[in-house]
Amino acid sequence: MESNSHNLDILTARKRPFSITEAKDVGISAQMLAYYCKCGRIERLYRGVYAPMETEANPYPELEQLIKKRSEFVVCLLSALQIHEFTTQLPHSLWIAVPHGARLPKVNTGRLTSVRLTKDPYQYGIEEKELYGMNVKIYSAAKTVADCFKFRNKIGIDVALEALKDGHRQKLFTASELWRAAKVCRVSEIIRPYQEIMQS
């Protein structure tokens, strides 16, 4: 028991979530994890994912898995809206863009919704943000709004319009930034009348 407790201390000292596989690698069984949860030393975040009690839970377990796998992707659409704080709604899955022709990534925990983009739309507007200790590629606010219009049939035109309105209100992008992103995504003529209303 003392050996297991010491091994648990090694995991919890990292102050981040850890998987059941990582626990087993240092000699802690699933039964012991359940015991430590009952004792209040750790908590179960998701299936197969645990964290020290004082650790702020990472709400993006899918991101951590994709980064560990070195998958090629960019956070987009509904998940990008959430991270940019356009909205307080939580998507039911992590939305990512992958290059056209690339293999779609898979995760063991959580859900992914993937969209494919050709070279120019995929590469345009990528930013890097630090999120829960992870360096994450995500599209800029302007590119995210343009993508929302591009994929309006998938996420709903109401979501795209709300994103445009909130981004404009919060000054998350300039008119020229949005226009450039819209041209890359080939939705400039679709966005134009809504943008003109916002600016009037």
For residue 142, give Cα distances in angstroms to 126, 171, 177: 11, 10, 6
pLDDT of residue 88: 60
- Provide CB contacts within 8 A for 106, sequence distance 6+: 112
pTM score, whole prediction: 0.71
Which residue has better confidence, 52 or 125? 125
40 with 7, same domain? yes
Q: How confident is the model at residue 90 (pLDDT cuts 50, 70, 90)?
A: low
Q: Residue 127 sits in a domain of what CATH number?
A: 3.30.460
Domain that holds residue 100: 61-199
Instruction: Choose the final residue of a domain: 32, 52, 72.
Output: 52
Would you tell me how many other CB atoms lie within 10 Å of the CB of residue 118? 10
Q: How confident is the model at residue 154 (pLDDT cuts 50, 70, 90)?
A: very high
126 with 173, same domain? yes
Q: How confident is the model at residue 110 (pLDDT cuts 50, 70, 90)?
A: confident
Stretch 120-128: mean pLDDT: 96
125 with 36, same domain? no
48 with 98, same domain? no
13 with 101, same domain? no
Stretch 132-159: mean pLDDT: 94
106 with 194, same domain? yes
3-state secondary structure of 51: strand
Pairing of strands 74-75, 126-131: unpaired
Would you tell me how many other CB atoms lie within 10 Å of the CB of residue 97? 25
Phi/psi for 41 (5° steps) reads -85, -30
41 with 93, same domain? no
73 with 7, same domain? no
When divided into structural domains, the chain yields a total of 2
Report the distance separating Cα 107 and Cα 111, nearest Å: 7
25 with 95, same domain? no
Tell me which of 44-58, 103-117, 144-158, 163-177 is least confident: 44-58
Tell whether the model's pLDDT for residue 49 goes beyond 80.
no
Tell whether the model's pLDDT for residue 68 goes beyond 90.
no
168 with 93, same domain? yes
What is the per-residue pLDDT across 5-33, written as a single tens digit (0 to 9) for each? 778 888 777 777 777 888 888 888 888 89
